[in-house]
């Protein structure tokens, strides 16, 4: 279908990528977000090759390379610093035809904003959705309304649009751990500048990956009960206690975190859902499928959604047929990844301590090609080859 108008609720990775893809496909797109200033949740993200391919297809090859870090190896180490596995990522790149890019989220969001030619309305909290036979309608907290031929809910894990599409509210499910993340200046006292390092032990992880601008994106995973309050003395004190006795680079990393710069997020997921579309209203990104970060695929899947949705709209004469086709394409892939990520979360974070112990042993004995092969399989399941 041609010349349709589109409202997107949410200006995250999913909403902005969809905005760019649909504008390029010839639609007239406006994006609405509830915030007064766009600030991404979390500091960094690894955009695996399937996500990068989508952005390349949207003409952002150079911009991605400019903001992306150079990640040539991946190393697993024990809490005491013993090297468990050293994985060359070149075979992966050769197999899938595109390198992954670790990036600072703020850089990615700015790049997507710069590439989206339409209007992004801020201070626009969507509080309700409706539709007539030929229009979709969004209602905003300040009394405004917007109408268009298609409404996309890219409004994240606690999506308002999802409640309309599913005709029920779905509570995100706590995944059993808290993630602390941020950015620090790159330094050889922390890690090699071209290697993603992951320290594992006690069901926890401490990790650094190189992003553009000579920085490391770091994260720590701490298995905690859902209601566990933050440490009264702040995130750094929490990490010093949780990672006491871990090797020197981990201590150096904790010491390098500038006060009040780390994000602390209880990790939750949503799905698998069977329905992404209702008439002229459709879900995309975390609103449709929130995966735990343990596969690094949530943002990549949001970009895949965007390009598939644009293709489906181009290929069908009716909006509802196009959205049904999108749903049929995306439900199986994203549902599988929600479950795969959940399983990996459980394996890594000690849901069954014997399984996590086995995972540590497997890490030390697994051939590097088995690791890159598993990552390639996920990437090659995407829509672009
Ligand atoms: P969001 O980024 O959540 O954006 C939703 C937008 O909607 C927000 O701007 C919000 O303000 C707006 N909004 C919400 N409600 C309303 C409303 N009612 N009205 C108007 N606007 C609204 N993915 C990867 O691919 N690789 C990784 O390495 C990776 N690491 C991760 C690490 C962590 C710790 C976490 C938590 C996630 C990670 N992910 C990763 C997943 C990735 O961050 C998400 O999948 C991705 O950000 C989803 O994008 P989105 O646009 O769908 O949703």
Give mean pLDDT, residues 314-322.
91
Burial bucket for residue 163 (CB in 10 Å: 0-12, 13-18, 19+): middle
- Which residue's alpha carbon is nearest to atom 46 within ligand 1? 299
Give mean pLDDT, residues 223-249.
93
CA of 158 to the centre of ligand 1 (A): 10
- Which residue's alpha carbon is nearest to atom 26 within ligand 1? 296
CB within 8 A of 374, min separation 6: which ones? Answer: none
166 pLDDT more than 70: yes
Place of tokens 């996309």: 152
pLDDT confidence band for 42 (50 / 70 / 90): low
CB 56 within 8 A of CB 344: no
pLDDT confidence band for 41 (50 / 70 / 90): low
Within 6 A (CB) of ligand 1 lie 9-15, 32-35, 42, 45-46, 51, 124-126, 154-156, 160, 179, 181, 265, 285-286, 293, 296-300, 302
Best substitution site from 7, 8, 10 to test ligand 1's pocket, by max atoms within 8 Å of Cβ?
A: 10
Amino acid 227: pLDDT = 84
pLDDT confidence band for 281 (50 / 70 / 90): very high
Amino acid 40: pLDDT = 66
Give mean pLDDT, residues 337-360.
96
- Which residue's alpha carbon is nearest to atom 45 within ligand 1? 298
pLDDT tens across 169-226, in order?
A: 999 999 999 999 999 999 999 999 999 999 999 999 999 999 988 899 999 999 999 9
pLDDT confidence band for 259 (50 / 70 / 90): confident
Amino acid 39: pLDDT = 77
Place of tokens 């190393």: 75
pLDDT confidence band for 385 (50 / 70 / 90): confident
For the chain, what is the mean pLDDT? 95
CB within 8 A of 255, min separation 6: which ones? Answer: none
The pTM of this model reads 0.96
Amino acid 212: pLDDT = 85
Q: How distant, in Å, are the alpha carbons of 133, 140, 149 from that of 156?
A: 26, 17, 21
CB within 8 A of 354, min separation 6: which ones? Answer: none
CA of 41 to the centre of ligand 1 (A): 7
240 pLDDT more than 90: yes
CA of 290 to the centre of ligand 1 (A): 8
């Amino acid at each position: 279908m041609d010349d349709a108008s589109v409202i997107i609720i949410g200006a995250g990775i999913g909403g902005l990528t969809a905005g760019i893809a649909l504008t390029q496909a010839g639609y007239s797109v406006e994006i609405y977000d509830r915030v007064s200033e766009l600030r991404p949740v979390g500091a960094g993200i690894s955009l695996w090759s399937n996500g990068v391919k989508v952005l390349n297809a949207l003409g952002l090859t150079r911009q991605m390379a400019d903001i992306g870090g150079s990640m040539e190896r991946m190393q697993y180490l024990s809490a005491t610093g013993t090297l468990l596995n050293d994985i060359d990522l070149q075979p992966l790149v050769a197999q899938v035809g595109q390198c992954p890019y670790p990036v600072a989220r703020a850089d990615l969001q700015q790049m997507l904003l710069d590439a989206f030619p339409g209007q992004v309305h801020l201070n626009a909290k969507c509080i309700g959705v409706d539709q007539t036979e030929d229009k979709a309608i969004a209602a905003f907290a300040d009394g405004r309304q917007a109408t268009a031929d298609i409404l996309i809910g890219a409004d994240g894990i606690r999506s308002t649009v999802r409640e309309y599409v599913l005709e029920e509210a779905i509570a995100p499910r706590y995944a059993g751990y808290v993630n602390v993340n941020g950015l620090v200046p790159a330094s050889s006292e922390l890690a090699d500048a071209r290697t993603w390092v992951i320290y594992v032990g006690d069901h926890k992880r401490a990790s650094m990956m190189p992003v553009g601008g000579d920085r490391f994106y770091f994260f720590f995973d701490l298995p905690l009960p859902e209601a566990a309050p933050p440490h009264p003395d702040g995130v750094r004190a929490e990490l010093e206690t949780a990672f006491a006795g871990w090797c020197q680079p981990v201590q150096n990393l904790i010491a390098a975190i500038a006060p009040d710069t780390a994000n602390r997020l209880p990790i939750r997921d949503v799905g698998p859902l069977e329905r992404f579309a209702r008439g002229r209203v459709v879900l995309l990104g975390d609103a449709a499928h929130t995966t735990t970060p343990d596969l690094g695929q949530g943002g990549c899947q949001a970009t895949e959604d965007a390009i598939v949705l644009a293709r489906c709209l181009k290929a069908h004469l009716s909006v509802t047929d196009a959205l049904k086709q999108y749903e049929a394409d995306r439900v199986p892939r994203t549902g599988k990844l929600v479950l795969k990520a959940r399983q990996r979360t459980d394996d890594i974070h000690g849901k069954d301590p014997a399984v996590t112990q086995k995972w540590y042993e497997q890490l030390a004995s697994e051939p590097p090609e088995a690791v890159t092969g598993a990552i390639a399989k996920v990437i090659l399941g995407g829509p672009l080859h």
